[in-house]
Structure 1
Amino acid sequence: MTERRPFPWHVAVFLAPAVIVYTAVMIVPLFGTLQLSLFRVVEDVQKFVGLDNFRTLFGDPRWSASFWNALGNNFWFFLIHMIVQNPIGILLAALLSAPRLRFAAFYRSAIFVPTVLSFVVVGFVWKLILSPVWGIAPSMLDAVGLKSLFQPWLGKEGTALTTLALISVWQFVGIPMMLIYAALISIPEEVLEAADMDGITGWSQFWKIKLPMILPSIGIISILTFVGNFNAFDLIYVSQGALAGPNFATDILGTFLYRTFFGFQLQLGDPHMGAAIATAMFAIILVGVSAYLFGIQRRLRRYQ
C-alpha cells in the first residue's frame, strides 16, 4: 500500500501573497466590470438590463460609429507594431548576438533605454520634435536637403495614428530585441558548430538554423504585442488628449473607454457603457490569446 504524500503547505504559503494581491487587483475588478456592464441607471435607479448595453454599443449609430472607428484604429496601431517593431527587434537581436561585434552591451543598453521612459516624457518630447512651429524636425530635414518632406504629421488625420504608432515602436523596440537576443544566445553551441562544419554560416545560418529555433519566442512576442496594443492608452492620451484628435483619427479603444466611463469636457461619464466597452476589449484580447494558445502554439510545438 503506497504511502500518501503530505500536502505541500509550504507551496500554498509562498503562493498566497501573490494570489491575494492578484485577486484583489485583477480578478475582483474584472468581475465588477462585467457586472456593471449588465446594468443601467433608469430614473436614478440601477436596473438589470442584460445585454442591452452591448446592443446599444454595437447597434446604436451614436455609439457604434465611435466604437468601430476606435477598433479599426486599434488594429492599425497593432499592425504597425507587428510589421515594423518586431522585425526590427529580431534584426537588432541577430546583429547584437554576433560574437565579433564590439560594444554590443552599449548598443543593447542604448536601444533598451527608451522602454523605461515615462509615456508623458516620450509623448511630450516627440510633440516638441515634430512641431512645425518650434520643433527640430524641420531643421534636421533641412540640413540634409529634405525639408520639403516635412509635414505636420501629428496634425493630419491621415498620418497622426501612424506617426504615434512609429513613436511607440521607437520606445518599445528594445523589448522584442532583448527577448529574441536571450533566445539566440540560449541556442546550444553544438548546434551552431555542426552548422559551421556543414558550411552554413552568417545570415544563412540565421535563416536556416537560428530562426526556426526561436519561433516560440517570436510567438510570445507577438501575443504580448497584441495584448499591449489593445490595452494602449497612455501615449495617445498624452500626445492627442482624450478627444484623440484630429477629428478622432487617433481614437483607440482605450481613449474611447476613458471618455465614456469618466466623461470629458461637456460629455457626462457613463460607467455602465464604459464597462460594456471594457468588457468588449477583454473579449477581443481573450479571443486573440486563445487563438494563439490553441492554434499557433500547438503548431509550433509540432514543428519543433
Structure 2
Amino acid sequence: MAVDAEPVQRRARRWHIAVFLAPAVLVYTAIMIIPLFSTLFQSLFNTVGGQRTFVGLANFMVLFGDPRWAASFWNALWNNTWFFIIHMLVQNPIGVVLAAILSNPSLRLRGFYRTAIFIPTILSFVIVGFVWKLILSPLWGIAPNMLDAIGLRSLFAPWLGQEGAALTTLALVSVWQFVGIPMMLIYAALLSIPDEVIEAAEMDGLTGFSQFFKIQLPLILPTIGIISILTFVGNFNAFDLIYVSQGAQAGPNFSTDLLGTLLYRTFFGFQLQQGDINMGSTIATMMFLIILVGVSIYLFAIQTRLRRYQF
C-alpha cells in the first residue's frame, strides 16, 4: 500500500519550524514572560513578618489612596507624560524634517550627515548622561563659554539644578540622542515610495514642499504611527538617563522622577528607604497597564485608519 508523501513532507516542515523557533521561544519566555507574570503575581500579595499573604488589589488601593504613595506616583506619571510630549513635539518632527532633507538626491554628503546624526543613538546612556552633565555644569561646563562666544551668556542657567527646567533639559538631551532613529525609519519609508508616484506628482506641477506634504507625507503616515508608538513605549520605560544624570532620587526635589526611577527606589530601596517587593511590583504592573492601554489604542483606533495610505 502506497504512502502519500505530501502529508509526511508537510509534517516534517512543521517540526522543522518548531525546532528552529524553540530556542528563541524558550529564551523569550525565561527573560520576559515568566518575569512579567511573576511581577503581576507579586502585586497581589503583601509580606508581613516574613509571611506572604494574598491581599488582592489592596496594594493598588494603597498606591492610589495613601497620600504619600499617591503623590509620588502621580508626580512620576505626569513627568513621564511630559517626557513623552517633548519627544513627540520635538524629536519626531525633527526626524521627519531631517529625513525629507536627506532624501533629496541633489544633497551632497548625505551619507556623512546620516552617520553623524545616527551615531549618538549607539552611545551608552552612561556616556550621554555624564557628558551632558559636564557640558551643562555652571562650574566647569563648556555651555556658558559657548553661549558667551555668540553673545548669549545671559541665557545660560543651571538647568539641571532647577526644578522647572531639569526634566525638560533631560528630555531634550534624550531627543538629541535618539532623533536618528525616527530619521532613519522615515528616510527608509521615503525611499520606498515608487518613482512613478513622484514622477506623476512632478508632471502635475507638485515639487518641493507641496510634493512632500500632499504626496509623500500621507504615504509615510503608517511609519510615523509606528515611530509614535515606539516613542511612547520607550519613554514610559525611561530610566537610565535620569538615573545617570540625577541619581535615584531624581532631583532636584523629585522634579525629574519618572515611573522607572520610582519603581527602582520602591523595589530595591535607596539609602534609608527599605525596598518593598510587593509595592514595587504594583508600580511595575501600573507601568505595564499604561503601556498596554496606549499600544491597544494605537493598534485598534489609529492603525486601522492609517492602512488606507499603504500601497
TM-score interval w.r.t. the shorter chain? over 0.9
Match of 2:10 among 3, 6, 11: 6
Measure how far apart 1:218 and its partner are: 0.1
Match of 2:57 among 51, 61, 65: 51
CA displacement, residues 11-37 of structure 1 (integer Å, 9 cap, x when unaligned)? 112211111111111000000001111
Q: Output the CA distance in 2 between the equivalents of 1:225 and 1:141.
A: 31
* TM-score, L = length of structure 2: 0.96
CA displacement, residues 72-101 of structure 1 (integer Å, 9 cap, x when unaligned)? 000000000000000000000000000100
Higher alpha-carbon deviation: 54-63 or 294-303? 294-303
Q: Does 2:59 match 1:16?
A: no
Other structure's SS at 1:6 match: helix
Paired amino acid for 1:217: T
Paired amino acid for 1:16: A
Residue correspondence of structure 1 range 18-97 to structure 2 within 5 A? 18-97=24-103
Q: Output the CA distance in 2 between the equivalents of 1:51 and 1:79.
A: 31
Paired amino acid for 2:198: L
Paired amino acid for 2:183: M
Other structure's SS at 1:46 match: strand
Match of 1:294 among 296, 300, 308: 300
Measure how far apart 1:303 and its partner are: 5.0
Q: Output the CA distance in 2 between the equivalents of 1:17 and 1:95.
A: 42
Q: Output the CA distance in 2 between the equivalents of 1:129 and 1:303.
A: 43
Residue correspondence of structure 1 range 138-149 to structure 2 within 5 A? 138-149=144-155
Measure how far apart 1:168 and its partner are: 0.1
Q: Give the percent of matched residue pairs that are identical in Structure 1 and Structure 2.
A: 76
Match of 1:129 among 126, 135, 142: 135
Asked whether the equivalents of residues 40 and 285 of structure 2 are also in contact (C-alpha less than 8 Å), the reply is yes
- 2:179 aligned partner: 173
The root-mean-square deviation of aligned C-alpha atoms, in Å, is 1.0
Q: Does 2:255 match 1:249?
A: yes
Which 5+ residue runs of structure 2 have no aligned equivalent?
Answer: 1-5
Q: Output the CA distance in 2 between the equivalents of 1:94 and 1:179.
A: 11
Match of 1:119 among 112, 118, 125: 125
- 1:232 aligned partner: 238
Asked whether the equivalents of residues 222 and 309 of structure 2 are also in contact (C-alpha less than 8 Å), the reply is no
Other structure's SS at 1:62 match: helix
Other structure's SS at 2:111 match: helix
* TM-score, L = length of structure 1: 0.98
Q: List, as ranges, runs of 4+ consecutive aligned residues in structure 1 with deviation greater than 2 Å.
A: 3-7
Measure how far apart 1:186 and its partner are: 0.5
Aligned length: 302
